[in-house]
Structure 1
Amino acid sequence: MLIVFGGLPGAGKTTIARAIAARRSATYLRIDEIEQAIRSAGFLADVGPTGYAVANALAASNLKNGCLVLADCVNPVLESRQGWRATAAGVQKPLLEVEVICSDPTEHRRRVEERHSDIDGLTPPTWQAVLAHDYSPWPEPHLVIDTAVLAPHEAIEMVERHMNL
């Protein structure tokens, strides 16, 4: 199964995805880490969709090996979402799309402004950058997790219930 976590920075994707990956011994793919590795290697200053292409290829390879794969990314536009769908379909594995939101703007801003990067060389986005982020609505069916009303353990339990459907 491929589980793709999307949502704006600071919504809580990484907290949820990491916890599930650890509990399930799953392959964990974080776009921020992939993109920063590409930048740090000096190959591309502007990685554009490259990080997503690498992550989709890694996801497909691990899915073929029977691994549960969790992708942690903003997943902001139709093209990135179609890429994940094509990856799961191409290896005939189920896909669970999870949009993580924080419906309380004050709390969301606090999280963004107080976070520190755990990725060497990566500067976390500012609140203004989060507000200006190109992020298209999801018309496709997907699970929505609101971390303003759910504690991390509740969000994790909700995702795991949907994994077992």
Structure 2
Amino acid sequence: MIMSQKLIVLAGLPGSGKSTLAEGLSRHFSLPLFSVDPIEAAMWRGGLPRDQTGIAAYVVAQTLAAEHLRLGQSVVIDAVNPVEAPRAAWRSLAAKYRTDLAIIECVCVDEATHRRRIEARMRAIEGMSEVTWAGVEKRRTEYEAWTDARLTLDTSAHPPGRLLAEAIGYLA
């Protein structure tokens, strides 16, 4: 399936299903995927202090995405994107390269399902410990509501294959 050039941004709290969906879209469309968590973990392994890498990891992801957009390629981004600053940066990047910005926000409405996911999660990102449920609850209080046009998927309501199909349809 051929689609127009897009900057595809997956957003949502940890454990909401965005990484699973981002990986599925990357595979389906054969697109590069830039995920903020592994970028940040690599910075830590490289010796950067943890208190200096949060925003920097987003900047690295934006820079990598820009290189691919410059070449006319679509890109998938996997990041929480909890506040306006990174969201504005993605909008700006899409405008700079005159590409479509497609936002997919993953939510897990069923709190018990979300908590089970977090407590069972084993991503094995070298140097990064798994987030706790208390950490997710804290992040939820800091997570600003989106105002951009987007596809919102409740990942607790449907199996991953159906969610992927819905996202593919949205991007087509």
Aligned to 1:34: 39
Instruction: Tell me the C-alpha RMSD between the 2 structures.
Output: 0.9
**Among 112, 124, 149, the residue aligned to 1:118:** 124
The answer to whether the 8 Å contact 2:11/2:104 transfers is yes
- Determine whether 1:93 maps to 2:118: no
Q: Which sits farther off after the overlay, 137-146 or 93-102?
A: 137-146
The answer to whether the 8 Å contact 2:31/2:74 transfers is yes
| Cα shift at 1:22 | 1.0
Could you tell me how far apart the structure 2 residues matched to 1:6 and 1:50 are? 17
Q: Match of 1:102, as an amino acid? A: C
1:65-118, Cα deviation, whole Å (9 max, x unpaired): 122200000000011111111111111111101100000000000000000122
Structure 2 unmatched ranges of 5 or more: 1-5
Could you tell me how far apart the structure 1 residues matched to 2:50 and 2:157 are? 38
Number of residue pairs aligned between Structure 1 and Structure 2: 164
- TM-score normalised by length of structure 1: 0.96
Q: Match of 1:14, as an amino acid? A: S
Q: Match of 1:88, as an amino acid? A: A
The answer to whether the 8 Å contact 2:44/2:127 transfers is no
Tell me the secondary structure at the aligned position of residue 106 of structure 2.
strand
Give % identity. Answer: 36
Q: Match of 2:49, as an amino acid? A: L
- Determine whether 1:141 maps to 2:146: no
**Among 4, 7, 15, the residue aligned to 2:9:** 4
| Cα shift at 1:48 | 2.6
Could you tell me how far apart the structure 1 residues matched to 2:160 and 2:43 are? 30
Tell me the secondary structure at the aligned position of residue 71 of structure 1.
strand
The answer to whether the 8 Å contact 2:104/2:153 transfers is yes
- Determine whether 1:48 maps to 2:54: yes
| Cα shift at 1:36 | 0.6
Tell me the secondary structure at the aligned position of residue 33 of structure 2.
strand
Q: Match of 2:163, as an amino acid? A: A
Could you tell me how far apart the structure 1 residues matched to 2:124 and 2:160 are? 19
- TM-score normalised by length of structure 2: 0.92
Q: Match of 1:136, as an amino acid? A: E
Structure 1 unmatched ranges of 5 or more: none
1:119-141, Cα deviation, whole Å (9 max, x unpaired): 11110110000000121111222
